[in-house]
Structure 1
Amino acid sequence: MTAPDSESLRLLVLVGELGSIGAAAVEMHVSQPSASKRLTSLERRLGLELVERTRQGCTLTPAGVIVTDWARQVLAHVDGLMNGVRALRAQQQSHLRVAASMTIAEYLAPGWISQLRRAFPDTHLELDVTNSATVTEAVRHGHADLGFIETPGTPEGVSARHVTRDRMVLVVPPDHPWARLRRPLTPAELAATPLIVREHGSGTRETLYRALAEAGTDAVAPLLELHSTTAVRNSVVAGAGPSVLSLLAVGTDLAEHRVAQVEVTGLDLRRPLHAVWRPGLQLTGSAAALLAIATRSPQ
């Protein structure tokens, strides 16, 4: 014997309360033949006669009265379950946890979030700004609903989608000797020079070091290791030394001549930016909307 479904139990309760299969069918927005067939199927499934049918209507049999009382208790639990699920879904959909790497959080995410707020004004959004490695871990362990990273490749253990592209450039203070070079630097010259870099786990640092490795050289120990893109950028502007940063971070400084760009030959400093989330999870609501906004970013 298989357990009856909740709709069949709800029909039985209505028949007992209304005294008519037709009236119960109207209440459940189904046809009378369909309701009658469902009720007969329920009786066969349980092996009990539950309803006595007459020309004047229907009455519950003694077994039907007992089963109906049990059905009311089951339906009360089912209704409580569904109300709880709806409340939980509403809470999750109105609270979006996002983690983003530094460059994305500082230069791209504000515009994306502004667009999201217009579409989902009641959504409470938390933005955790950290490096790409920490973003990935937050997504893997369910601490963030959606993440944005800037590593050259996509990490394992997450679902990923390409969002846009970024380009990194070598920048120096205006009075740095490299600012007066008439030729591009070689990867070996760049690798042999102590640079201001981000911390381990940063997508900016990983992109630079991977590009140098692909060019057949390894970077020497850094001049400074800082934990934010803004701190690195400010250090270059202040004259501390050279660095390789996203064009997003230094575009205005280049236009206003606070830093100078130095070309490097034979070094690919382009990188994709990705959105990441837990594998097997179907993004919905504000999370899906934010992903759609990000993927529409200019390439």
Structure 2
Amino acid sequence: MSSAEETGDGEPGGRTHTGSLAHRVPELGALELLLAVARLGSLGGAARHLGISQPAASSRIRSMERQLGVALVDRSPRGSRLTDAGALVTDWARRIVEAAEAFDAGAQALRDRRDSRLRVAASMTIAEYLLPGWLLALRAQRPDTAVSLLAGNSSAVARRLLSGEADLGFVEGVSVPAGLDSAVIAHDRLIVVTAPGHPWARRRTPLAARELAETPLILREKGSGTRQVLDAALGGLARPLIELSSTTAVKAAAVGGAGPAVLSELAVGEELSMRRLVRVPVADVSLARDLRAVWPTGHRPTGPARHLLSLTRSQRS
């Protein structure tokens, strides 16, 4: 008596159930082929129905028979007929294929739900001056996707992504917030601006970086990408003259003559051209910065988020 028979384990002949289920159960395509043979009564007809060659179909049936250890199809010049074992396996296969179809339908429903909305979180400069164009391009290509935009500073963008409140984010700080992966999607530069009546507007020499660092400025709040970049570039800042929570508010205060400000070039093009603001050159400091798309580490954007990310790159190029 074999050890399998003595213990009651395994199958007659010493066969045991080893390995994963995927190695013991035929693949879905083979089961679909067997169902087609049962329905059409011909291996050739089943092959044509599934869009494969007859030799490939024969090979798939033989492989399944070897895997199961039983003959499934009797082949003859008059066609193909299921064996008794083949008829039984076909009944089981039908249930598996029906379950797979239900699985596929459910997965498609999940994709449809995912693709029906996109939640974007963006820091203020990007939200005000770049995202509108990107979202218009996305709407032209995906009109059925509803987009919601959450604007805030770079720290708030990171929190929303990590808490699952947003699908894709855009930031403008010095570094990538912890827990996020990123891709550079644009470049920007911060510039010093004042109203035309400010003494700096009449300077004949560039402003020294030290003087800028020691001067109270109209600034964004702590946590904003603009303030992070400026603080890092100057090695520290004086106490703010005014602290405001949006680029538009900082710009309005500067235009009104409240004092000098440091803003993105993207934000002040119109004001500079109309002389409502004057650019003040600064010596010995670089205020260039990268603008980045961000998402939770290890979770590459999919669906509409991936599409929007590709649009930012195409418009950059």
Q: What TM-score do the two structures reach when normalised by structure 1?
A: 0.87
Measure how far apart 1:259 and its partner are: 2.5
Which of 25, 30, 54 in structure 2 is aligned with 1:32? 54
Which of 252, 257, 261 in structure 1 is aligned with 2:270? 252
Using the aligned pairs only, state the percent identity.
Answer: 48
Q: Secondary structure at the match of 2:259?
A: coil
Who is 2:31 aligned against?
A: 9
Q: Secondary structure at the match of 1:163?
A: strand
Measure how far apart 1:282 and its partner are: 4.5
Structure with the greater relative contact order (CA < 8 A, sep ≥ 6): 1 or 2?
1
Measure how far apart 1:221 and its partner are: 1.8
Counterparts of 1:56 and 1:151, CA distance in 2: 74
Which of 305, 308, 312 in structure 2 is aligned with 1:287? 305
Measure how far apart 1:260 and its partner are: 2.8
Which of 247, 250, 269 in structure 2 is aligned with 1:229? 247
In the TM superposition, 1:1-299 aligns within 5 A as: 2-213=24-235, 218-283=236-301, 286-297=304-315
1:210 partner amino acid: A
Counterparts of 2:223 and 2:30, CA distance in 1: 57
Counterparts of 1:147 and 1:48, CA distance in 2: 56
Does structure 2 conserve the Cα–Cα contact (< 8 Å) formed by 1:163 and 1:297?
no
Counterparts of 1:259 and 1:42, CA distance in 2: 77
Measure how far apart 1:116 and its partner are: 2.5
2:281 partner amino acid: E
Measure how far apart 1:103 and its partner are: 0.5
Measure how far apart 1:5 and its partner are: 0.6
Tell me: CA distance 1:249–1:10, structure 2 relative to 1, closer, same or farther (3 Å).
same
Q: Secondary structure at the match of 1:162?
A: strand
Counterparts of 1:13 and 1:293, CA distance in 2: 44
Measure how far apart 1:156 and its partner are: 4.3
Counterparts of 2:206 and 2:293, CA distance in 1: 34
Tell me: CA distance 1:178–1:63, structure 2 relative to 1, closer, same or farther (3 Å).
same
Does structure 1 conserve the Cα–Cα contact (< 8 Å) formed by 2:114 and 2:303?
no
Does 243-252 or 83-92 show the bigger shift?
A: 83-92
Counterparts of 1:238 and 1:203, CA distance in 2: 24
Does structure 1 conserve the Cα–Cα contact (< 8 Å) formed by 2:193 and 2:262?
yes
Q: Deviations over 1:187-221 (max 9, x none)?
A: 222222222211121110001101111xxxx2122
Q: Deviations over 1:14-53 (max 9, x none)?
A: 2222222222222222222322222222122112233334
Counterparts of 2:170 and 2:45, CA distance in 1: 55
Does structure 2 conserve the Cα–Cα contact (< 8 Å) formed by 1:148 and 1:274?
yes
Counterparts of 2:266 and 2:53, CA distance in 1: 63
C-alpha RMSD of the superposition: 2.4
Does 70-79 or 57-66 show the bigger shift?
A: 57-66
Measure how far apart 1:102 and its partner are: 0.4
Q: Deviations over 1:217-244 (max 9, x none)?
A: x212212221111111112222322211
Counterparts of 1:40 and 1:86, CA distance in 2: 33
Q: What TM-score do the two structures reach when normalised by structure 2?
A: 0.83
Structure 2 unaligned residues grouped into runs of 5+: 1-16, 18-23
Counterparts of 1:271 and 1:153, CA distance in 2: 10
Q: Secondary structure at the match of 1:78?
A: helix
Does structure 2 conserve the Cα–Cα contact (< 8 Å) formed by 1:185 and 1:263?
yes
Number of equivalenced pairs:
295
